[in-house]
Amino acid sequence: MIGDDKIIEGCKKGKKSAQNRLYEKYSPVMLGVCLRYCSNMADAEDVLQEGFIKVFTYIKNFRGDGSFEGWVRRIMVNTAITHIKKNVKYSYEDIENISSDYQEDEEIAYSPVNPEIMIKVLQSLPAGYRSVVNLYIFEGYSHKEIGGIMGISESTSKSQLSKAKKFIRRKLEEKNLILKTVTSNG
C-alpha cells in the first residue's frame, strides 16, 4: 500500500491516480464529519465534494507540520460552515424558543445510543444548534471562537449549546433512549 507521503506528493503533482487514492482513503471518515454538520446526505455529499476540491487545490500548501488527516478535516469543517452560512436561512433569534418549555430533570439515565440514530438526531437539530454542537463538542472550539466563526456572540453560542442539549435529550426521550429519573428529596 502506498503511504500518505507518496499520495500527497502525487496529488501535489496533479496525478489523478494519487487524487483517487487520497479520496478513497479519506472520504468515508470525512463524509461522517460532513454528515454531522448537514441535515441530510445530499448536502453532506455536496460539502464533501467541495471540500475535496479545496484539498486538491491547496494541497501544495500542506507542509507536513501536523497530521494530514487533521488538515483535511479542518478543510471539511470550514467548508461545512461556509455551506451552512450560504445555504441555510436561519437566525439564532428565530430558534430561541424551540425548546424553552423543556425542563431539565435532576437525574437522567442514558441507554447506549446507536451511532446512526445519534447522527439522525444531530441532523434533526436546527442549523444554528447543529453548528455550535459540532464546533464545541466535536471540534473543541471555545464559545468565543465559535462566536467569531459563526458571527454570533459568545453568550449566544453558550445559549445555543444549552438549548441543543435539551433538544437532543427530548429527541432521545421520544425514542425511549433516555429514561427520566425523578429523585425525591427526603
Percent of the chain predicted with pLDDT > 90: 60
SS3 13: coil
Amino acid of residue 22: L
User: Pick the residue with more confidence: 83 or 96?
Assistant: 83
Find cell 496533479 and name the residue: 14
With CA atoms as reference, report the closest residue to 92 among 169, 142, 153. Answer: 153
The predicted-structure confidence for 140-174, as pLDDT tens digits, reads as follows 999 999 999 988 999 999 999 999 999 998 888 88
For residue 78, pLDDT over 60 is answered with yes
Domain spanning 93-181 has what CATH number? 1.10.10.10
Q: Which of 16-20, 53-57, 92-96, 154-158 has the lowest mean pLDDT?
A: 92-96
Mean pLDDT of 107-124: 75
pLDDT confidence bin for 93, thresholds 50/70/90? very low
For residue 103, pLDDT over 50 is answered with no
With CA atoms as reference, report the closest residue to 82 among 52, 50, 126, 108. Answer: 50
Tell me the fold of 4-87. Answer: Rna Polymerase Sigma Factor; Chain: A (1.10.1740)
pTM of the model: 0.74
| Domain assignments of the chain as residue spans, ordered by start | 4-87, 93-181
pLDDT for the residue numbered 141: 94
Beta strand pairing status for 178-181 and 107-110? antiparallel
DSSP 64: S
For residue 119, pLDDT over 80 is answered with yes
